[in-house]
């Protein structure tokens, strides 16, 4: 049998189908067989040639979303018209308000049941997002006087771990009320650093996303 001459097209097809099914049924309720049934004749072997498990497919799907997020972060980081603190607030607002967040929370993966996905999120946060995007902004803020800290590296990690992990209802299975309380504590913590970054619009959006997750998990 001839080998697939277009492996990238096959991978993209698998990811497109998987993402659509995750959206329709939720990650936990989608099986590998469900994906195979929608691939137009591709065999189970074709999937396992590229992905070892359904979790691997989910990580690849989220990686595609992360690429778009990183482009947004880089664009804000490189702006010349904003102070460091203004850039952080812009990142918070644009990150939580992006329409793709609805897709992510609709897929509703259970992080505790998928430890590799949780590890991937933590690894990307510490090794990539914090040093490549948030740390340069905090250092700019120190230089322009809009951010006061003697520990820029640690602050960049703390902000992201709190926002991406502790506040994430998909990790802690938070209710809308619990998400609201966490948001208030996070706001108080940031205010302690002189960072008034959060507002009512962001809280309303977090509550909306939490509600989407709770309905689709």
pLDDT of residue 6: 64
pLDDT of residue 63: 82
pLDDT of residue 143: 97
Structural domains in the chain? 1-51 (1.10.10), 54-216 (1.10.357)
Spatial separation of the C-alpha atoms in residues 197 and 129, rounded to whole Å: 18
Spatial separation of the C-alpha atoms in residues 76 and 120, rounded to whole Å: 24
pLDDT of residue 185: 98
Mean pLDDT of residues grouped by 10 in the chain (217 residues)? 62 90 83 91 87 90 83 96 98 93 81 79 92 98 97 97 94 94 97 95 96 88
pLDDT of residue 2: 38
Spatial separation of the C-alpha atoms in residues 73 and 84, rounded to whole Å: 13
pLDDT of residue 103: 84
Contact 152, 142 (CB under 8 A): yes
Helices (H), the chain: 7-25, 32-37, 44-50, 54-77, 84-97, 100-107, 115-124, 135-144, 152-161, 169-172, 176-192, 200-216
Spatial separation of the C-alpha atoms in residues 176 and 172, rounded to whole Å: 12
pLDDT of residue 118: 85
Contact 79, 142 (CB under 8 A): no
């Amino acid at each position: 049998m001839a080998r697939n001459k277009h492996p990238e097209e096959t991978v993209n097809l698998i990811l497109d189908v998987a993402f659509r099914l995750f959206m329709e049924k939720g990650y936990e309720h989608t099986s590998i067989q469900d994906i195979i049934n929608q691939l137009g004749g591709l065999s189970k072997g074709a999937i396992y040639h590229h992905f070892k498990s359904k979790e691997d497919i989910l990580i690849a799907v989220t990686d595609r979303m992360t690429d778009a997020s990183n482009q947004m972060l880089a664009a804000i980081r490189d702006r010349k018209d904003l102070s460091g603190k203004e850039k952080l607030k812009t990142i918070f607002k644009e990150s939580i308000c992006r329409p793709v967040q609805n897709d992510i929370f609709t897929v509703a993966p259970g992080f505790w049941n998928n430890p590799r996905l949780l590890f991937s999120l933590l690894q990307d946060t510490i090794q990539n997002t914090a040093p490549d995007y948030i740390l340069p902004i905090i250092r700019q803020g120190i230089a322009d006087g809009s951010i006061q800290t003697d520990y820029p590296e640690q602050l960049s990690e703390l902000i992201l771990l709190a926002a991406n992990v502790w506040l994430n209802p998909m990790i802690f299975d938070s209710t809308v009320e619990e998400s609201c309380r966490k948001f208030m504590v996070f706001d108080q913590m940031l205010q302690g650093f002189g960072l008034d970054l959060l507002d009512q619009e962001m809280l309303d959006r977090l509550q909306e996303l939490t509600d989407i997750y709770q309905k689709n998990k």
